[in-house]
Structure 1
């Protein structure tokens, strides 16, 4: 057993065993930790993020045309593991010079994504609406809303949309700067009401990060975190956007940033995961290729 750089954070001790980060509760004061475990069922979720599909040459470390092969590899693993559903955490496509080209990218990669799992959920990323309006993207993927929630197996799941400017205007048609990501007042009010009406342990999915205040973070993330913390039931947030493995714990909530699928050439540079929410309340993230694996005890 070796000591992790994460050390002790907010009532939990972190350590590494066999290359997997383990987080062990030191205190059961958090409501999420004391949720009625007997009511939970095992739920398995496929996670992918930052595919950035586009039919164009590589840009730096991003190999856009390699995404379909990487997605197919993830699909093979998901068919073996049979997740209940798959969540795409944003930036399914990369920016294009025209609406027509962007729609071509989206139709191609979404047709292939549709073969991976019959039940899919999409998080809006800034690149998803660089050229398109939100309504155009959502219509193509047959998802009615950009932020919403649903229940499964004794768990509550929340999907957030941070693709809004500081003035509350939604991203679309190149009308934004990617560093100006916000969750507007209307969505925060919805989130507050949604969590207040909930009594189940909760998992949140986002694109822009809620645990940092740099260019990759939601500008009003401290306010968002207060809402999540107040519920006492949010156990983890899974997010993308910065293309790297990262993990932070803030006031009892794990913020897990997933590696981008688009980074690096060929399927050996792939990255995706399976999230296992177990009936005993433990959480296991099985990482593939460049995605880090985690266990929360």
Structure 2
């Protein structure tokens, strides 16, 4: 399969904190960071960490709907894998809804095994965010058992001087985890125990923080986590969270809320043909500034680093 032409469209969100000057991101406080030059000869900071990103694959062996072409997902994912293996990111993150919902547990596991065989061809370490479709029919333990996912659905890790957090909002308002068709997708929540863990985890780190979630943590109507405001308060109190990357609503979107970038990524599933694929390469700088190289339908962005606490 031929590799896609990179679409690197610079998107300038309508906010004074995310800005470009003469086509180059203005970054302060990088200290002794290494710099590389782009094609125009302009110096740009070399990333501390590079992360492959893709979301909302919704694989299923079933008929297409108006915009979702379920059986095309493996072919689209093969292109993603080829790109990631060529660029060799430090790790990759799948931000949820790897599969679509099946009528039976057996069918769901079969679909999951099929798409996991493709995703497992990625040579970089893989991380998975649980999406509502991942654990609609299956339990969380079953999803984890049939993928390369971590044994815990929320966790954190460090790489290249950056702290990364994986969140799980697949809980009902009463704290029950999703599974066996027991929940409405609009009832997404970060439960009290996970929120307490997040608060303590962030207290331990002063490096830039990037958070990955499936359901949105900014304001996005029914696609938002129901207690998103409470979660945002914890992120803001840290003073070191640069960005939240999220999926779920299937379209490119951006908001900045109290100094934190909320970047919503376009879904791989939407649209037929390779031109409607969607994936990207996230580059995190040493001060938490971000670059997203967008491929196909994923929008490229350049965002400044967080105003860190003294």
TM-score by length of 1: 0.89
Matched residue count: 283
1:240 has 2:247 as partner: yes
* Long gaps (5+) in structure 1: 26-32
Match of 1:29 in 2: none
Match of 1:165 in 2: 172
1:184-195 map, 5 Å = 184-195=191-202
Q: 1:195 to 1:59 in 2, by over 3 A?
A: same
- Cα distance in structure 2, aligned partners of 1:124 and 1:201: 23
Q: 1:95 to 1:15 in 2, by over 3 A?
A: same
1:129 has 2:132 as partner: no
By how many angstroms is 1:14 displaced? 3.9
- Cα distance in structure 1, aligned partners of 2:226 and 2:26: 30
1:141 has 2:152 as partner: no
- Cα distance in structure 2, aligned partners of 1:16 and 1:177: 45
1:79 has 2:85 as partner: yes
What does the per-residue CA deviation read over 1:173-216, in whole Å, with 9 as the maximum and x for residues that have no partner? 00000000000000000000000011211000000000015100
Pick one of 188, 203, 208 that aligns with 2:210: 203
Q: Secondary structure at the match of 1:47?
A: strand
- Cα distance in structure 2, aligned partners of 1:16 and 1:215: 36
Pick one of 286, 290, 296 that aligns with 1:289: 296
- Cα distance in structure 1, aligned partners of 2:30 and 2:192: 29
1:66 has 2:79 as partner: no
TM-score by length of 2: 0.86
What does the per-residue CA deviation read over 1:120-146, in whole Å, with 9 as the maximum and x for residues that have no partner? 000000000110001110111142010
Match of 2:6 in 1: none
* Greater than 2 Å deviation, 4+ residue runs: 4-9, 13-18, 22-25, 33-41, 278-282
- Cα distance in structure 1, aligned partners of 2:185 and 2:297: 25
- Cα distance in structure 1, aligned partners of 2:55 and 2:252: 12
By how many angstroms is 1:41 displaced? 6.3
* Long gaps (5+) in structure 2: 1-10, 35-45, 305-310
Q: CA RMSD in A?
A: 2.3
- Cα distance in structure 1, aligned partners of 2:259 and 2:232: 11
